[in-house]
A and B are shown apart, each in its own frame.
Chain A
Amino acid sequence: MRYETVIGLEIHVELDTKSKIFCSCPTTFGKPANTNTCPICTGLPGTLPVLNEKVVELAVKSGKALNCDINLINKFDRKNYFYPDLPKAYQISQFDLPICIGGYIDISLEKMNKRIGITRIHIEEDAGKLIHDTYDPISLIDYNRTGVPLVEIVSEPDMRSPEEAIVFLKNLKSILEYAEISDCKMEEGSLRCDANISIRPMGQKELNTKVEIKNMNSFKEIHKALIKEEKRQIELYSFGEGEKIVQETRKWDSAKGRTISMRSKEDAHDYRYFPDPDLSVVKIEKTNVISIQEAIPELPQEKRVRFINKFDLDEKDVDILIDDKKLADFFEELINLETPAKDASNWIIVEILRVMNAKELKSIPIDAKRLSNLISIIDRGVISRTIGREVFDELIISDQSPKEIIEKKGLTQINETSKLLGIIEKVLDNHEKAITDFREGSPRALDFLVGQVMAQTKGRANPSETRKIIEEKIEIIN
């Protein structure tokens, strides 16, 4: 039998605000434990929440960027449960009236276009973090993250493969980054994803029992976990043991490469949601929604189309640039500095990504001005592209300008015929066989001779000039 996979995602995204959702503590990541806290976010008796209005603005923005409708009347609800990382023993969230409903993201996979629905987006506060000591039987709690604003984005079960889920997530991430809603740093937990997955026979309409998977910390892990769970369920169905698939939450164990049952539906919490009496109803003006929507910067889809149309770039290259907002922004910076589009895109995709991958860098290691400067030096023929790469490697570790590096290292290209002539003659004297080969019609012999000159000059010889002189010389000798 052929099976179909059904996947829906729940994504928690930390909103990019300076202060927390209900107090004025900063949201900076990585501070010493419990330093970004106050009596309010640690839920001391008698304290009360006051809503940070920026949160509503960013949530509306996320809704508009994901094509949702906005609920203009908003209330907050308490989700009650006991856990040491939740100091009030309830999380302030939105239950039956989420701020955004009914949106979508368009994705394309192997040239197929598809629309994935967004069920809802709601606002809530983040919880703290438990830190378990490996050797001592104790746990410590860091409340720095408590009260950091989140939106929870819930998708429709519209994805049919782990690959679709990953493309959806990548698109979502870049939209949120482009719209400056979140920095989406998965390694810092500012974008976290849980997945609901079920399997059904191809053609069946009803959904089968779904399993929720948690604890996946990167796109790679999500992909692995989904493939593994997909396989597990298909195997159970194939062996007629479908009843063993129960509605439960399973935890992804990345070290062991498998999912482990955490809790079944019967152990599910009764969260006893009710409207938070400490917070008044938030009314959003329609005009505000419009102005928030208008202020959304160009989103990845539009940018992609513009790059392709305006700059005549290869679609694959554009995808690489668009995928990472940093790269796209950097590309535009180079364009603004009048760098030719082709050069800008090549340098980013070849050189910058090479260095970033090799050094595992999160940010671009050079500023646009210096790179654009280097590119224009190459275009003017002062140095060759090969030498340019050498200068580039130097640029990212020093403060010097391209010109200073070129001068210091004596890397200027040799363009003058007079300077090249002597070196070429010497090379020709030593390689009579190559000359013969060339005359007999082997173009590679010419490449070889140019290469020799380049080697002699440590790459500084102007390659096209060198080629021209060699051709002329051989003709003369002839």
Chain B
Amino acid sequence: MKKIIEMSIEEIKEAYAMKTLKVSQVLEAYFDQIKKYDDKIKAFISLREEEAIKEAKILDEHLEKGELSGLLAGIPVAVKDNISTKDLKTTCASKMLEDYQPPYDATIVKKLKAAGAIIIGKTNMDEFAMGSSTENSAMFTTKNPWDYSKVPGGSSGGSAAALAAGFAPLTIGSDTGGSIRQPASFCSVVGLKPSYHRVSRFGLIAFASSLDQIGPFTRTIKDSALALKVLQGKDPLDDTSKESSNIDYFESIDQPIYKMKIGVPKEFLSEGLDSEIKENIVKTMEELRKLGAQVEEFSLPISDAGLSAYYIISSAEASSNLARYDGIRYGYRPEDYKDTDDLMLKARTEGFGKEVKRRIMLGTYTLSSGYYDAYYNKAMKFRSKITDTFKKAFETYDVILSPTSPILPFGIGEKTSDPLEMYLADIYTVNINVAGLPALAMPSGFSKDGLPMGIQLIGDHFDESKLFQVGNHLEKKIKVKDIFPKLEVK
């Protein structure tokens, strides 16, 4: 039998159904793996072992009686540490919220629990989800399980690394400009950024409200579809969430794709793209053709404007969203202060890290009177243009294929000195958030040095089912899902 920690959700569920595995056995296997390797990888900020084992035992009683129900019954799940969990610290990897314990569960946490999933811990990230490497975490940097000297990507690097390292068969991240897809590619796992409006944001500690979406990391495309089924849906507590349409992912997931038209934006293959990744995309296009799809390059003239629009909008929203951390009610509070203003000033100066402060300042500037029209308003105009450009592309294409990242996983510390270079690495992912579209990142092979590569499939709004359908076929062709990193203790 396959090792538990290498199983997909589907395989674990099958084992439960066949009664060849018990829930506590599964939990034990994952916690063993975590204990063995997380000292080195550092994917988790907090663990929830005792309660998780207790919950597993209860589920085993149900399993015994054949009453195990729920789409994710007995599945361990790790959640990014910017998603609120009742009675479990939710830090956003920030000194500001180091000891913050939410009094409520995020809607998606409630949904996971209702589906029978067991929360095993909270994962590391870039502080307040700002970054692409977890190096902005105020706690520690997570290592890439494929190469400890490399970053796992970010901001959901902890969740991506945890999945790759066999710490959980399902982890949850959030994606504002690529924060699920880029680490998924860096760690060779499947990561989905759902359509804006599809998954409730209630309880997700906001970075940029109009861009943030919660999504799953899984080993397989089918697991991703299953997870989305659990997470999605209109939430009365989130005005921006909507009732999902096209949700019968499994009805179409195995259907052939030979009638599909897949476009590859030329602009996404131009300068700045790593040559191995470019080769990999060309190979992937070939595989899709072999599957019968019609694949062609086309022009999608947005990427530069998109990156600027993204950084202006996300920073503007962040400057407002993060203003509530003032040291008054919760969170970091300085020891000495003269008066209320001094308290707020010191709390924010000492409680936030460099990158967070950089974006707050950028956002405050772009919203200031006199600059608003030149920056924020202009960015919003670009935003509708980008949305229209994509809309038009989807009149021709069912799915758009592109690289996830222009570069391979980079070395820890390699890019920390130049934030702009780090921002440029988001060039393929940010536009999707700006347009509110769904995108699926999946493994597509390895570089000569054995570093993971990934592609992203972009869909029309609420058209995740096509992404799963294409991804599912491609996954069988590419055959990397059963390759695991060789972890070392040292």
Interface residue from B202, B236, B341, B367 paired with A46 (Cβ < 8 Å): B202
B320 interface residue (CB < 8 Å to A): yes
For window 325-340 of B, CB contacts with A under 8 Å fall at 326, 328-330, 340
Name the residue of chain A whose CB is nearest to the CB of B365.
A272
Mark out the residues of chain A between 73 and 115 whose CB falls within 8 Å of any chain B CB in the assembled complex. Answer: 78, 80, 82, 84, 87-90
Q: Are B236 and A50 in contact (CB under 8 A)?
A: yes
B239 at the interface (CB under 8 A from A): yes
Among A36-44, A164-172, A447-455, the stretch that binds chain B is A36-44
Contact of A46 with B203 in the complex, beta carbons under 8 Å: yes
CB contacts (< 8 Å) of A89 on chain B: these are 320, 323-324, 326
- Shortest C-beta distance, B453 to chain A (Å), equals 33
Partner of A84, one of B84, B316, B328, B367: B328
Tell me the minimal C-beta distance from B3 to chain A in angstroms.
Answer: 36
Taking a contact as CB atoms closer than 8 A, the residue among B90, B320, B340, B376 that contacts A90 in the complex is: B320
How close is B127's CB to chain A, nearest CB, in angstroms?
13
Asked whether A78 lies within 8 Å of B239 as measured between CB atoms, the reply is: no
Are B239 and A51 in contact (CB-based, < 8 A)? yes
Residue B368 at the chain A interface, CB threshold 8 Å: yes
Note all chain B residues with C-beta closer than 8 A to A88.
323-324
A272-B100 in contact (CB<8A): no
A80 CA to B287 CA, complexed, in Å = 51
- Give A46-63 interface residues, CB cut-off 8 Å to B: 46-51
A52 CB to nearest B CB, Å: 11
B210-A277 in contact (CB<8A): yes
Task: Please pick, from A39, A43, A90, A270, the residue contacting B103 in the complex, using a CB distance under 8 A.
Answer: A39
Q: Report Cα–Cα, A24/B469, bound state, in Å.
A: 42
In the complex, how many angstroms separate the beta carbon of B435 from the nearest chain A beta carbon? 15
Interface residues of B in 369-386 (CB under 8 A from A): 369, 372, 376
Which single residue of chain B is at the shortest CB-CB distance from A79? B320
Whether A272 pairs with B367 at a CB distance below 8 angstroms is yes
- Which residues of the other chain, B, contact A278 by a CB distance below 8 angstroms? 206, 209, 239-240
> Nearest-CB distance from A277 to chain B (Å)?
4
| B200 to A: closest C-beta gap in Å | 9
A48 partner residues in chain B, CB cutoff 8 A: 201-202, 237-240
A45 at the interface (CB under 8 A from B): yes
Q: Does B258 contact A (CB under 8 A)?
A: no
A238 at the binding interface (Cβ < 8 Å) = no
| Complex alpha-carbon distance, A279 and B237, angstroms | 11
A141 within 8 A of B: yes
How far, in whole Å, are A141 and B329 apart by their CA atoms in the complex? 10
Give residues 309-344 of A contacting B (CB, 8 Å): none
B364 interfacial contact with A, CB 8 Å: yes
Chain A nearest CB from B382 CB (Å) reads 15
B206 contacts which chain A residues (CB < 8 A)? 45-46, 278
Q: Does A274 contact B (CB under 8 A)?
A: yes
- Residues of A close to B319: CB separation below 8 A: 80, 272
* A261 CB–B CB distance under 8 Å: no
Distance in Å from the Cβ of B283 to the closest Cβ of chain A? 39
Is B317 in contact with chain A by the CB < 8 A criterion? yes
In the complex, the answer to whether B238 meets A274 with C-beta atoms within 8 Å is no
Residues of A within 8 A of B205 (CB): 45-46
Q: Is the CB of A46 within 8 A of B102?
A: yes
Q: Quick check: is B204 within 8 A (CB to CB) of the other chain?
A: yes
| Min C-beta distance of B324 to chain A, whole Å | 5
Tell which of B240, B317, B329 touches A87, judged by Cβ atoms closer than 8 Å: B329
Q: A386: CB under 8 A from chain B?
A: no
Q: Identify A274's interface contact among B102, B239, B330, B376, CB under 8 A.
A: B376
Residues from chain B with Cβ under 8 Å of A50 in the complex: 236-239
Q: Which of A11-29 contact B (CB under 8 A)?
A: none
Q: Which residue of A45, A48, A272, A279 has the most chain B CB atoms within 10 A of its CB atom?
A: A45
A277 touches B209 (CB 8 A): yes
A464 at the interface (CB under 8 A from B): no
Task: Please tell me if A139 contacts chain B, counting CB pairs below 8 Å.
Answer: yes
A43 pairs with B369, CB closer than 8 A = no
Using A51-B239, A279-B239 as known contacts, say yes or no to A274 and B372 having CB atoms under 8 A apart: yes
Q: Does the CB pair B326–A84 fall under 8 Å?
A: yes
- 16 residue pairs of the A-B complex, CB under 8 angstroms, read A43-B324, A46-B84, A46-B90, A46-B106, A46-B201, A47-B203, A49-B239, A82-B323, A84-B340, A87-B328, A89-B320, A89-B323, A272-B372, A274-B316, A278-B240, A279-B239
